[in-house]
Structure 1
Amino acid sequence: MSKWRSVTSGVPQGSVLGPALFNTFVGDMDSGIECTFSKFADDTKLCGVVNTLERRDAIQRDLDRLESYRLGGEWIESSPEEKKDLGMLVDKKLNMSRQCALAAQKANHILGCIKRSVTSRSKAVIVPLCAAFVRPHLEYCIQLWGHQHKKDMELLERVQRRAMKMIRGLEHLSCEDRLRELGLFSLEKRRLQGDLIAAFQYLKGPTGKLERDCL
């Protein structure tokens, strides 16, 4: 067996050894945890329903346990007031206005790239490009961060209206008429459709049948 030596540097990101060492380090993090504890890659979340004093105390005990978790002599700092979590910007008050503004900014940036790099303004070209590259930014995990403020949703609708104005021959039509002419729905209606699908899938459960308790 080789001799023990001090490690003076970390493991390069993307290495084969990195995930193994990381999993070894965090493997016992959920030891003694009373609430729901989920891990995804290097993201760890503690969840729990706090509707009684006992549940409140339980989740506080878990938070205290996690707070004492550390790497050697270095304390692991708590998350900042605002951070990105799986592509979404979340703050401690769960205000999603910044996430909405960021999504609209990204979508507008890509829309600008399409406008500068594509000469055609036909329906057959612009609609598929916007559906593939612009709209996903406006609808990614929208069931979680959407619907909070009307002004935020209007910001997203503005991006789609800007995209429709690029199409030749529809300049004289109103926003509703453009949607009808293109066979599209407003983002508000698409969100409603997504909400209904998500609710149905939740009620259906893993068995593929509607759960009796939900009826």
Structure 2
Amino acid sequence: MDTGTYPSEWKTSFIIPHYKSGDKANVRNYRPINITPVISRIMEKVVKDQLSDYLIREDLVTRSQHGFLKNRSCVTCHFDFFNCITSSREARKLVVVLYFDISRAFDMVSHSILFEKLYSCGIRNPLLNWLKSFLSNRVQITKVGSVLSHPRQISSGVVQGSVLGPLLFTVYINSICKCFTSGKPFLYADDLKVVYSCYTHELSDMVAKIHLELSSLASWCADSCLNFNIDKCGWICIGNSNLDLTLEINGRKLAKLNSVVDLGIRYSSNLTFAEQTDYARRKTRRLIGCITRNFFCCETRVLLYKVCVRPILEYCPFILSGLRQNDKLKLEGVQRQFTSRTLGLESGLEYHERCERLRLEPLWKRRLKLNLIFYYKLTNLLLHSSEPITKPTAVISYNLRNHHNLAAMEHCQTYVRYNFFLNKFSVIWNRLPANVRDANTLPVFISSVTRLLKDDNALLRLTLTPSFSPYIDILSSLN
């Protein structure tokens, strides 16, 4: 490190093509994953930890970026995005969201531009020289099965699959948010979406601002040697599905979308998540079929279910809290099917008894626990948010033992805001016992909530609220 050089022996990496979607014969439908030496990854981890701590401490990364940094994730990006949208809809505003896809973003990074950006962030030698050495004169070999390609030298891009590459890309794309003054950008790595909102009579002014900012974005991409995949870009209007706009970038029209797939979540212009539920149900049922056909040991089946199936059913639990009753039943039905196949119908056990036998919690109860933990993290600033979420304290005119550390309720006039996670779980938070709400650390809170949810009477008191419908959830755990 002191010499500012990266060992040349570590610069050769093997590329494993990872299929994404579409035609398997089309090379564009594969993501190149670099397999680098283990010792190289250890060194990268040390540099990455120090560099990311510096960037965060000095506030050098835009708060709109949710990728590759501590306490930031797809979930925090989704939360910020839907919090922004539902707030705008509560104000009776139209919402237009633009989605952008950058072609081969990681592979097209210009090294010279990246080094300028690192220097502007205060990165100096020997680290800057070490990073230059890390990216220069790299060689990659593509491996498909047991067949190897000829070695090829790489002159651009950060190393996909490496430890340090994603953080370097974060620095590279960081300034893209400066293109937007009227729109609010949300970034996860190179996945960019921008939210514009206005009252109906302001629509023409908003469209003019969008055109200006699209021009600014096109210029930024040209200066940064990046290109859009226009076929994967588009826009959606939330609040008026009949709205028709002509939006262009680089002379090409952006398509109007009725529904989108955004960071693993499927939703439509009316903010329903039925498509997400159906997708998760189809995918997990196929996985369960594969597990039950090929594995016969009960313990093995449960382990594979927990690792391969349940995470799909529980992705972004704060979004799942707003599902319609029927969609909740569909998700619970997947676990019901698994427990039935694993223990057999001849067991004669009800669903909740099968869950107990297999040491599985009903999904509705796990969602409740996960969302309470998420709420605690958000309101105690343990998670990143572009606009930090604080818990407004409710003003109580009388003094009761349990009326401490309560969340103030938002008076909502629209269903999308009323049904949003923050409002639903403010109600549930206020029904927690005071000793649980006052937990001073996350482990203490998790332990307290876990104990609380084992008490059926406490559970009923907790969920018996106007904005939470436990009856269907509880019934779904008994069938």
Question: Which TM class, normalised by the smaller chain length?
Answer: 0.7 to 0.9
Q: Deviations over 1:118-165 (max 9, x none)?
A: 133x2x222111111111110111312443211111111111011101
1:4 counterpart residue number: none
Contact 1:97 / 1:152 at 8 angstroms: preserved in 2?
yes
Are 1:101 and 2:278 matched, yes or no?
yes
CA distance in 2, matches of 1:53, 1:82: 22
Are 1:204 and 2:367 matched, yes or no?
no
Taking structure 1 as reference, are residues 114 and 26 closer, same or farther at Cα in structure 2, changes over 3 Å only? same
CA distance in 1, matches of 2:357, 2:173: 57
Q: CA deviation at 1:48?
A: 6.7
CA distance in 2, matches of 1:165, 1:59: 54
Are 1:43 and 2:43 matched, yes or no?
no
Q: Which has the higher contact order (CA 8 A, sep 6+)?
A: 2
Q: CA deviation at 1:181?
A: 2.3
Q: Deviations over 1:185-212 (max 9, x none)?
A: 21111111111011100111149xx957
150, 153, 163: which one pairs with 2:338?
A: 163
Contact 2:182 / 2:196 at 8 angstroms: preserved in 1?
no
Q: CA deviation at 1:28?
A: 4.8
Greater Cα shift, 82-91 or 61-70: 61-70
Greater Cα shift, 29-38 or 139-148: 29-38
Q: Deviations over 1:94-128 (max 9, x none)?
A: 110011000011100100111111133x2x22211
Q: TM-score, normalised by structure 1?
A: 0.74
Percent sequence identity is 22
* Structure 2 gap segments, 5+ residues each: 1-27, 33-103, 111-155, 158-168, 219-227, 229-248, 384-388, 394-404, 406-479
Amino acid at match of 1:160: Q
Contact 1:100 / 1:152 at 8 angstroms: preserved in 2?
yes
The secondary structure found in structure 2 opposite 1:116 is: helix
310, 315, 318: which one pairs with 1:135?
A: 310
CA distance in 1, matches of 2:380, 2:204: 33
Contact 2:379 / 2:391 at 8 angstroms: preserved in 1?
no
Greater Cα shift, 64-73 or 196-205: 64-73
Contact 1:99 / 1:145 at 8 angstroms: preserved in 2?
no
Q: CA deviation at 1:37?
A: 1.8
1:153 counterpart residue number: 328
24, 34, 59: which one pairs with 2:182?
A: 34
Q: TM-score, normalised by structure 2?
A: 0.36
* Structure 1 gap segments, 5+ residues each: 1-9
144, 152, 174: which one pairs with 2:350?
A: 174
Q: Name the Cα RMSD after superposition.
A: 3.8
Taking structure 1 as reference, are residues 26 and 169 closer, same or farther at Cα in structure 2, changes over 3 Å only? closer
Amino acid at match of 2:185: F
Q: CA deviation at 1:93?
A: 1.5
296, 306, 311: which one pairs with 1:119?
A: 296
The secondary structure found in structure 1 opposite 2:287 is: helix
The secondary structure found in structure 2 opposite 1:185 is: coil
Amino acid at match of 1:126: R
Return structure 1 stretches of 4+ with deviation > 6 angstroms.
21-26, 52-59
Amino acid at match of 1:140: Y
CA distance in 1, matches of 2:179, 2:335: 48
Taking structure 1 as reference, are residues 27 and 212 closer, same or farther at Cα in structure 2, changes over 3 Å only? closer
Q: How many equivalent pairs are there?
A: 201
